[in-house]
């Protein structure tokens, strides 16, 4: 956002400020102040003008400037009303050398899940892709997926949803005591890396936010279905702030464990070449699932996981 506009916004957020005072403190003309205020209004900021000056009374819109405003994380937001896939656009920005940008869309027409599966992305969802250039070796990159799952689950919990995490990348809501769930959000992380260094990461986060769950695939739920009305703009801000707070990856695995629905479950894992059944007992420091099978402990770093029932010791 333009610096003068941001400074005006900050000033009028705490109460009314007369136009001439804003002009003087920003070193611009009164006409320029009026123009900035009009542009803020067009961007969805509700600015009232009264005898005591201009005052910000609310933020109605869901768009780039509205989300950047009050966001306590150093991301810029590139908002699209409709786009094919935010991950595709984020990959373009990443290859152009950008970082700390979040591509956010109102709806996606070509949303992708893992292994080129379709990701249903109607209007009202939170479809976001964070472009990052972290200074970590590729082996630690999966931890950003874990950080995104923790951030999403925590932001959903703040909105009143009993969100938990299913290994590796799903945020879910339990429907029984047996490990059954409905899916609230999914994460798709893509990266470019050399042997010892990550060049860029795109962390794609899809949350069924303000969506009628009936319009989603079977087995899906939404924040609206779980918790009723909520502010989608504040939800995105909290999600991005929580994600940023875990930038150094300290404590991510501990936080993930606390939210995990998968640990303590009998699981079936579909691996690229194999199917494996066992008890999910832990995750490793790099996010691999530790499974106790009839043949001993196995560490699984990628695959699809199905919850069968709680383990004997988990009961």
Interacting residues toward ligand BT5 by CB under 6 A: 85-87, 108, 111-115, 117, 119-121, 127-129, 169-170, 183, 186-188, 204-206, 208, 216-217, 220
Closest CB to ligand BT5 among residues 6, 268 = 268
For ligand BT5, which residue has the nearest CB?
186
Closest CB to ligand BT5 among residues 73, 211 = 211
Smallest gap from residue 47 Cβ to ligand BT5 (A): 32
Closest CB to ligand BT5 among residues 258, 270 = 270
Smallest gap from residue 112 Cβ to ligand BT5 (A): 4
Closest CB to ligand BT5 among residues 117, 197 = 117
Smallest gap from residue 253 Cβ to ligand BT5 (A): 20
Smallest gap from residue 105 Cβ to ligand BT5 (A): 8
Smallest gap from residue 86 Cβ to ligand BT5 (A): 4
Q: Which of 212, 216, 227, 208 is nearest to 170 (CA)?
A: 208
Closest CB to ligand BT5 among residues 205, 291 = 205
């Amino acid at each position: 956002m333009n610096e003068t506009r941001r400074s005006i916004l900050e000033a009028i957020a705490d109460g009314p400020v007369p136009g001439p005072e804003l002009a003087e403190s920003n070193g611009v003309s009164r006409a320029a102040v009026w123009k900035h205020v009009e542009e803020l209004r067009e961007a969805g900021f509700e600015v009232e003008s009264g005898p005591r000056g201009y005052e910000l009374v609310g933020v109605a819109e869901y768009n780039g400037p509205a989300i950047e405003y009050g966001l306590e994380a150093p991301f810029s937001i590139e908002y699209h009303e409709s786009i094919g896939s935010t991950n595709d656009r984020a990959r373009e920005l990443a290859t152009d050398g950008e970082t700390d940008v979040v591509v956010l869309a109102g709806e996606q027409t070509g949303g992708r899940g893992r292994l080129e599966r379709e990701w249903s992305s109607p209007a009202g969802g939170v479809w976001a892709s964070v472009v990052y250039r972290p200074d970590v070796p590729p082996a630690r990159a999966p931890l950003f997926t874990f950080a995104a799952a923790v951030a999403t689950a925590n932001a959903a919990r703040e909105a009143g949803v009993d969100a938990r995490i299913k290994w590796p990348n799903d945020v879910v809501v339990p429907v029984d005591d047996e490990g059954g769930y409905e899916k609230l959000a999914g994460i798709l992380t893509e990266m470019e890396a050399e042997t010892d260094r990550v060049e860029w990461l795109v962390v794609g986060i899809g949350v069924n936010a303000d969506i009628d769950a009936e319009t989603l695939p079977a087995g899906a739920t939404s924040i609206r279905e779980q918790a009723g009305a909520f502010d989608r703009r504040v939800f995105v801000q909290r999600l991005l702030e929580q994600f940023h707070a875990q930038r150094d990856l300290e404590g991510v695995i501990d936080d993930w464990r606390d939210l995990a629905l998968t640990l303590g479950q009998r699981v079936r894992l579909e691996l690229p070449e194999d199917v494996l059944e066992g008890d999910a007992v832990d995750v490793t420091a790099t996010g691999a699932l530790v499974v106790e099978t009839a043949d001993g402990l196995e560490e699984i770093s990628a695959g699809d996981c199905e919850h069968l029932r709680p383990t004997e010791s988990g009961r």
